[in-house]
Chain A
Amino acid sequence: MPVTKFHPYHGQNIRLLHDNMVAYRETSFAHALTFSEKALKPGEIFLVEIEKNELGWSGHMRIGLTQFDPSCKFELPQYALPDLQNMGKSWIFAVTKSHNKVVYSDAGDSDSVDREIHQSVLGDAEVIHTPQGSFSRSLLLPLRKLLSNNYETSVSTSSSDSALPTDIGSRIGIMYRVVGDTAEMRFIINGEDQGPCARNIPHQGGPLYAVVDVYGTTKQVRIIQLYCEGESDGPLQKEKVSPGRKCMKCRTENAILIIRVNDAFCKACFMVYVTHKFRATIGKSKLVRDGEKVLVAYSGGPSSSCLLHLITEGLSERAHKKLRFKPGIIFIDESAVLDNLIEDGGTAKDRIAELMVDVGYPCQTRRLEEAICLDQGGHLSEADLSSLTESYQASVCTSDPASPDDNLNKARVEIKALFSSIKSLTAREDMLNKLRQRLLMEVAHVQGYSKVMTGHCGTRLAVNLLSNISQGRGAHVAMDTAFSDTRYSDVMFVRPIRDFSSKEVAMYNSLHGVESVFLPTLTTKTHEGSSIEHLTEAFVTGLQTDYPSTVSNIMRTGEKLSTEKRDGENSNCALCQGPLDTDVGASSALNAVEFSSLISKKKNGRVDGCGDSATCCGEGDGSCHTQSEGLKKDEVMSVLCYGCRMTTKDMADPTALPEKLFRQISYRIRRSKMKEDIQDFLLDPENS
């Protein structure tokens, strides 16, 4: 037997909950008619339990049978009694506190038949058999009676029980049985058959629906499933979700999921909605041109898998309006900086490589250490691409065929040393993000991709925005969360699924069977407060559960911010390429924090070994050892933005950056010194 439900057509004050098994009258006391979804069969019991009452009204629930078909959407009267009754073809009675044994009398002389002894339709057995199936007698009883341990007696003496039929928990059933050519209707209240209350019902004239008027003090009733096992004892569903609803878009299909607060969508409409959002985000920006080479960053995670699937769908022949860019896929292997993934990392990475190849576009696996690998840039050609798709091990530093592994192994050692020298997980995570970004940019640049697409979804970007603010990167948050990130001169980063929530990503993946691969990150299996990003993620997602507008609010903040991109080589951070935000006035946080660290140190007479203040790194404790390296901490810091300064401060020695980064920084510093020297002779400073 399928689940018994209320009919979706009901009085205007009724709201159906819990998969249409609960009827709740939202207001007033009238306009609360409900029907059974299907017509009752002879002998079938339609049982409801009173779940909520509302004091202040007089009268209680009414229940009965009608031959009006709710599917015809006939105009509903205000009340079951007397309105529906008067319309005919309906047999309805009010449930009262007592005297429910209303014995129907067609002779008009009620006294003569009043004491007629009727036989209970329920019998005496523990298991009650009806033509539709059998169920335990206990289901007809209020839960409270069952719990009171004396239900043996209460079955027979329910009239003496203190619980009233109109109380919360009371279970009231309606059924009819065929007697000759007609049917008689019976109430069953809390396990007791009240005897025939209507006779001569022409049941052959049309199907009989149960009708419940959630009237008066009765506020909410639930259908008790008698014929569907286990259903009534299952865990309660969340109140808001009512999956029996129709899709709010097409209004014909049954909704299968709820996005945002209460928007129910069917599968087809959800797909249209999501795909449209993806296409519109790309389309509105007018940035991705026909035939453009686009590098798609793929991590194996849900978001980038979703992005990859959307792209392949959009490029396929069957797509309505075909996307016209040329994708190439890249996976970055970050195992060099993760100590904890070695055992299982191999198979996961193999799976990622397989998934990439399956998509059928040019693909490659690169290693994170290439970001600092010295001779990496500048020499990759198209021909390398095909070999790269085969195996990620072949995809290394091809510029120097004699010793690619040497270079790479050296870089691997170097990058491990770099990460182990960074004290805090926050800074490690930040450094990893920056290096990954660099590598993507360089690969795109070398291979002639003008765009990089990343699978950042809205939830992730909101987390990034807040965690960037907490790391002093306020000047960059606009770039970090907008659709396009233009900090690199010839490669643009775009985020086509930035309007997706992580929930939508998960729904999309699950409906399409998109596979994603789990790879551990730096903060996997660490506690909530292990890094700022990790903490912010827990904070934002936690807040999102209670305040569903959190992510969109944060994104909205990001959209209103701007980053003016400044030209010139010295206006961007040497590490993250974001605009430098350190040129601030005297009254500023940067200035204040520098003063703080200065004032809590010795006023005069620096610690030995650091010489006078002009060459001291500012630490004043001789820890910098800068002279031998040729670059001082001050100088390194001067070309970094505030956020990157924070990250490098967490390094044991900020000047111990990988050689490649270090070279770039020294180059920057030399250039700026040169410029300083010739400053007086430059006619237009912009031309330098």
Chain B
Amino acid sequence: MPVKCAICDGSAILKRPKTGDALCKNCFYYAFEEEVHKTIIDARLFTHGETVAIGASGGKDSTVLAYVMKELNDRYNYGLDLVLLSVDEGITGYRDDSLETVKRNQMQYDLPLKIVSYEELYGWTMDAIVQQIGLKNNCTFCGVFRRQALDRGAMMLKVNKIVTGHNADDIAETVVMNVLRGDIGRLRRCTAITTGAEGSLPRCKPFKYTYEKEIVMYAYFKKLDYFSTECIYSPNAYRGFARAYIKDVEKIRPSAIIDIIHSGESLSVKTTVKMPVQGNCERCGYISSNAICKACVLLEGLNRGLPRLGIGKTHKERRKIEELSKEGNVNPPQSGAAERQPTSIQTPVLAMESLSLDRRKPDVSKLDF
């Protein structure tokens, strides 16, 4: 006996992973899109006339995000100018292929596309970095650099906001991981739908409450073209444990993903706990918890042939920089911005100037928040 769709009484072809309801294809699209729309409206993510960059990797989340954003923008008249923004990490056999997908998406959805590469921003491709650091810890570089690269690309495009394809599973996984690591600062931040204070562009996650499985389902039935290969450098990272746990919990109770996000949202941090204060990097002006941002430290390490400089415990890192500063080449992070010495090595500051962009401070006044 064919199962009936819970909404229209037509014949259902799928069971929603999130609620367990049997739905037909069109009613599933309807429910999926309405939910994203509601998330956008409830959280007041956008205002009319904004330019919004969609972080596009070519993977399932960002492909579906681009499609749905365009749909909803037209249907509900958000009045947004959408652009696609991709980061080219320089990973042969992975990113070059997925960027092809993004380029196809660009044509299908008729959206402008901007690609920024690690090579032009930092002077290093991931392939080159992996040659230096090996397969362990290379994700630290990639993650830190990508976060900045997306912002810098967005500033070049002069957009107001960035949307990323982070889904509910990703957020639940981050909550669990931050609990396991005892990282209270990130634990508090990671469930926010919009992140980024002054100094960096706001980023939002319209898929915050959307299940990964439903995203795949949506792409599958809509026949959306996406690239699904694991990064060739992806290691057996700590995050993998959290991911496996989330998947197992979801099997026991499908609502657990949202439950974990609810838990994350309702955590309140003791007022006595010292939280990291976010400031700006002395070198490149990018938002940072330390005097010099992680990207600059990592880059400094790479350029000096000490690729492990930014890896590991903070105090060790600081000690290493202090040792270097004794040789008279680098400013210790504590020394303050005043006594910056010119270095012969290409720092991010120089790299940015070569792109004729002001890396110190994004021109916030021109942007309409």
Interface residues of A (CB under 8 A from B): 424, 426, 465-466, 468-475, 477-478, 529-532, 535-536, 539, 543, 550, 553-554, 556-557, 560-564, 581, 584-593, 595-597, 599-603, 642-643, 646
Q: How far is the CA of A643 from the CA of B178 in the complex (A)?
A: 21
Q: How far is the CA of A536 from the CA of B180 in the complex (A)?
A: 12
- Cβ–Cβ contact B269 & A557, under 8 A: no
Chain A proximity mask over B1-28: 1 for CB below 8 Å, otherwise 0: 0000011000000001011010100010
Which residue among B27, B263, B269 has the maximum number of chain A CB atoms within 10 Å of its CB? B263
Smallest CB separation, A591 vs chain B (Å):
7
Smallest CB separation, A600 vs chain B (Å):
4
Q: In residues 1-59 of chain B, which contact A (Cβ within 8 Å)? A: 6-7, 16, 18-19, 21, 23, 27, 30-31, 34-35, 38-39, 42-44
Are A535 and B248 also in contact (CB < 8 A) when A469-B260, A562-B271 are? yes
B258 interface hit (Cβ, 8 Å): yes
**Hey, which chain A residues are within 8 Å of B43, CB to CB?**
586-587
- Cβ–Cβ contact A562 & B265, under 8 A: no
14 additional A-B pairs beyond A475-B268, A535-B252, A592-B42, beta carbons within 8 Å, are A470-B263, A471-B256, A472-B255, A472-B259, A473-B263, A532-B253, A554-B179, A560-B270, A560-B273, A562-B271, A588-B265, A591-B42, A601-B7, A602-B7
Kindly identify which residue among A466, A561, A595 contacts B270, using a CB–CB cutoff of 8 Å: A561
**Hey, which chain A residues are within 8 Å of B263, CB to CB?**
468-475, 477
Are A600 and B179 also in contact (CB < 8 A) when A469-B260, A592-B35, A642-B259 are? no
Q: How far is the CA of A25 from the CA of B31 in the complex (A)?
A: 67
Q: In residues 59-94 of chain B, which contact A (Cβ within 8 Å)? A: none
Smallest CB separation, A605 vs chain B (Å):
11
Q: How far is the CA of A560 from the CA of B262 in the complex (A)?
A: 18
**Hey, which chain B residues are within 8 Å of A468, CB to CB?**
263
- Cβ–Cβ contact B253 & A469, under 8 A: no
Residue in chain B with minimal CB distance to A591: B42
- Cβ–Cβ contact A532 & B249, under 8 A: yes
- Cβ–Cβ contact A602 & B6, under 8 A: yes
- Cβ–Cβ contact B179 & A472, under 8 A: no
**Hey, which chain B residues are within 8 Å of A536, CB to CB?**
245, 249
**Hey, which chain B residues are within 8 Å of A477, CB to CB?**
263, 267
Smallest CB separation, B64 vs chain A (Å):
17
Can you report 11 residue pairs joining A to B where beta carbons are below 8 Å apart?
A: A470-B259, A477-B267, A529-B248, A535-B248, A539-B248, A554-B179, A561-B270, A587-B42, A589-B258, A600-B27, A642-B262
- Cβ–Cβ contact B6 & A465, under 8 A: no
Q: Which of B99-107, B114-122, B181-189, B316-324 interfaces with chain A?
A: B181-189
Q: How far is the CA of A474 from the CA of B35 in the complex (A)?
A: 24
- Cβ–Cβ contact A562 & B270, under 8 A: yes
3 A-B pairs closest in CB distance? A474-B263, A472-B259, A587-B43
**Hey, which chain B residues are within 8 Å of A543, CB to CB?**
180, 241
B209 interface hit (Cβ, 8 Å): yes
**Hey, which chain A residues are within 8 Å of B30, CB to CB?**
599
B304 interface hit (Cβ, 8 Å): no
Residue in chain B with minimal CB distance to A550: B180
Kindly identify which residue among A472, A554, A602 contacts B262, using a CB–CB cutoff of 8 Å: A472
B176 interface hit (Cβ, 8 Å): yes
Interface residues of B (CB under 8 A from A): 6-7, 16, 18-19, 21, 23, 27, 30-31, 34-35, 38-39, 42-44, 175-176, 178-184, 187, 193, 208-209, 241, 245, 248-249, 251-253, 255-256, 258-271, 273
Q: How far is the CA of A426 from the CA of B256 in the complex (A)?
A: 11
- Cβ–Cβ contact B265 & A474, under 8 A: yes
- Cβ–Cβ contact B253 & A424, under 8 A: yes
Residue in chain A with minimal CB distance to B181: A553
Are A600 and B6 also in contact (CB < 8 A) when A543-B180, A557-B179 are? yes
- Cβ–Cβ contact B253 & A426, under 8 A: yes
Q: How far is the CA of A561 from the CA of B182 in the complex (A)?
A: 11
**Hey, which chain B residues are within 8 Å of A591, CB to CB?**
42
- Cβ–Cβ contact A646 & B259, under 8 A: yes
**Hey, which chain A residues are within 8 Å of B208, CB to CB?**
592
Residue in chain B with minimal CB distance to A533: B252
Residue in chain B with minimal CB distance to A563: B268
Are A529 and B176 also in contact (CB < 8 A) when A471-B259, A602-B6 are? no
Smallest CB separation, B179 vs chain A (Å):
5
Tell me the interface secondary structure of chain B in the complex. Answer: helix
- Cβ–Cβ contact A600 & B16, under 8 A: yes
Kindly identify which residue among B27, B209, B253 contacts A589, using a CB–CB cutoff of 8 Å: B209
Smallest CB separation, B252 vs chain A (Å):
5
- Cβ–Cβ contact B262 & A588, under 8 A: yes
Q: How far is the CA of A479 from the CA of B178 in the complex (A)?
A: 19
**Hey, which chain A residues are within 8 Å of B7, CB to CB?**
600-603
Are A561 and B268 also in contact (CB < 8 A) when A532-B249, A599-B31, A646-B259 are? yes
**Hey, which chain A residues are within 8 Å of B261, CB to CB?**
589
- Cβ–Cβ contact B241 & A587, under 8 A: no
Smallest CB separation, A452 vs chain B (Å):
24
- Cβ–Cβ contact A469 & B176, under 8 A: yes
Residue in chain A with minimal CB distance to B264: A474
Are A593 and B42 also in contact (CB < 8 A) when A557-B187, A561-B267 are? no
Q: How far is the CA of A477 from the CA of B267 in the complex (A)?
A: 8
Smallest CB separation, A618 vs chain B (Å):
12
Kindly identify which residue among B182, B256, B266 contacts A581, using a CB–CB cutoff of 8 Å: B266
**Hey, which chain B residues are within 8 Å of A550, CB to CB?**
180
Q: How far is the CA of A596 from the CA of B6 in the complex (A)?
A: 13
Smallest CB separation, B245 vs chain A (Å):
5
Smallest CB separation, B15 vs chain A (Å):
10
Q: How far is the CA of A469 from the CA of B249 in the complex (A)?
A: 11
Q: How far is the CA of A589 from the CA of B205 in the complex (A)?
A: 13
Q: How far is the CA of A591 from the CA of B39 in the complex (A)?
A: 9
Smallest CB separation, A478 vs chain B (Å):
8
Q: How far is the CA of A343 from the CA of B37 in the complex (A)?
A: 57
Smallest CB separation, B76 vs chain A (Å):
15
Q: How far is the CA of A194 from the CA of B132 in the complex (A)?
A: 51
Smallest CB separation, B144 vs chain A (Å):
22
Q: How far is the CA of A221 from the CA of B144 in the complex (A)?
A: 45
**Hey, which chain A residues are within 8 Å of B176, CB to CB?**
466, 469-470
- Cβ–Cβ contact B252 & A531, under 8 A: yes
Smallest CB separation, B237 vs chain A (Å):
13
Kindly identify which residue among A563, A599, A646 contacts B255, using a CB–CB cutoff of 8 Å: A646
- Cβ–Cβ contact B255 & A557, under 8 A: no
Q: How far is the CA of A291 from the CA of B309 in the complex (A)?
A: 57
- Cβ–Cβ contact B179 & A465, under 8 A: yes
Which residue among B30, B38, B271 has the maximum number of chain A CB atoms within 10 Å of its CB? B38
**Hey, which chain A residues are within 8 Å of B209, CB to CB?**
589, 592-593, 596
Kindly identify which residue among B19, B179, B182, B270 contacts A596, using a CB–CB cutoff of 8 Å: B19
Which residue among B18, B179, B248 has the maximum number of chain A CB atoms within 10 Å of its CB? B179
Residue in chain B with minimal CB distance to A427: B253
**Hey, which chain A residues are within 8 Å of B271, CB to CB?**
562
Q: How far is the CA of A596 from the CA of B38 in the complex (A)?
A: 10
**Hey, which chain A residues are within 8 Å of B245, CB to CB?**
535-536, 539
Kindly identify which residue among B183, B252, B258, B273 contacts A426, using a CB–CB cutoff of 8 Å: B252
Residue in chain A with minimal CB distance to B9: A602
**Hey, which chain A residues are within 8 Å of B256, CB to CB?**
470-471, 532
Q: How far is the CA of A646 from the CA of B254 in the complex (A)?
A: 11
- Cβ–Cβ contact A592 & B39, under 8 A: yes
Which residue among B18, B27, B44, B253 has the maximum number of chain A CB atoms within 10 Å of its CB? B253
**Hey, which chain A residues are within 8 Å of B241, CB to CB?**
539, 543
Q: How far is the CA of A470 from the CA of B255 in the complex (A)?
A: 9
